[in-house]
Homo-oligomer: A and B are copies of this chain.
Amino acid sequence: MTTKPHIPTAAESASDEKQTGRVEAFSDGVFAIAITLLVLELKTPHIPAMPPAEHGPPTAAWLCEELLKEWPSYIAFITSFLSVLIMWMHHHAMFKLVKRVSPALLLANGVLLLAVSIVPFPTAVVAEYMTTPAASTAAALYSGAFVFVALTFVAVLLTALRPECLAADADPKVVRTFRRTYWIGPPCYGLALAAAAFNPWISMAICTALWMLWAGMMLPRRKA
């Protein structure tokens, strides 16, 4: 009738669960809002852009053309949406390994949320300038923002996988894979940042390739 192995009491484990639960719920909120605010960058073409005296009322062909002209906005929207979505998946995969929230983890997670909530800004700049001669600056801002995001992910990982936070039953293999793969982020986005000086399209292509890589790394691990 006595349970020899130390099993946390209801009170203990409830308190542990709760702490992680709150941080995750707040983080989920920030991720969900940041991802949904991206749509605000898709601008309705406005009629005043076409002087009525010269052209008459807006025609179907004109609106169609105006909408098509904004294609860089659509690509920027989709790329950023999927990037934030995959960040959210990784955030949760990481927090599945965490039992207790240390002050350092709280702080690192806060800075990660700051980085995530910034994403709509470089997205808007890329959408507006990717087809102009200022594209290289826009691509540098975008990839630079993701260097920052990748660094905050490493910071969260380093604090989350410390013994005071890590769940006792976390699979050591999964932990090792996390440790090994997260270091790849910052130098890869750094490469995209460097590439922006030469060719903004290569820079953006690297960013896109990277979130496909993160998605790929994510999905098989979940299956296991």
Residues of A participating in the B interface, judged by any CB pair closer than 8 Å: 22, 24-26, 28-40, 42, 44-47, 57-64, 67, 77-78, 81-82, 85, 88-89, 92, 101-103, 106-107, 110, 113-114, 117-118, 120-121, 124-125, 128-129, 132-138, 141, 215, 218-220, 222-223
A40 to chain B, nearest CB (A): 7
Chain A, interface SS category:
helix
Residues on the B chain within 8 Å of A101, using CB: 222
Q: Which of B26, B103, B125, B134 lies in contact with A219, CB distance below 8 A?
A: B103
A214 to chain B, nearest CB (A): 12
The distance in angstroms between the C-alpha atoms of A170 and B41, with both chains bound, is 41
In the bound complex, do residue A39 and residue B117 qualify as a contact, i.e. CB atoms below 8 Å apart? yes
In the bound complex, do residue B133 and residue A60 qualify as a contact, i.e. CB atoms below 8 Å apart? yes
Q: Which of B33, B38, B46 lies in contact with A32, CB distance below 8 A?
A: B33
Residues on the B chain within 8 Å of A35, using CB: 30, 113, 117
A34 to chain B, nearest CB (A): 6
Residue of B with least CB distance to A110: B85
Residues on the B chain within 8 Å of A141, using CB: 67
A82 to chain B, nearest CB (A): 7
Given contact pairs A39-B34, A128-B44, A58 touches B22 in the complex (Cβ within 8 A): no
Q: List 22 A-B contacts (CB under 8 A).
A: A22-B24, A25-B25, A26-B32, A29-B33, A30-B35, A30-B36, A33-B37, A35-B113, A35-B117, A36-B117, A42-B118, A57-B134, A59-B133, A60-B133, A60-B136, A63-B129, A67-B137, A81-B117, A82-B114, A102-B223, A107-B215, A107-B219
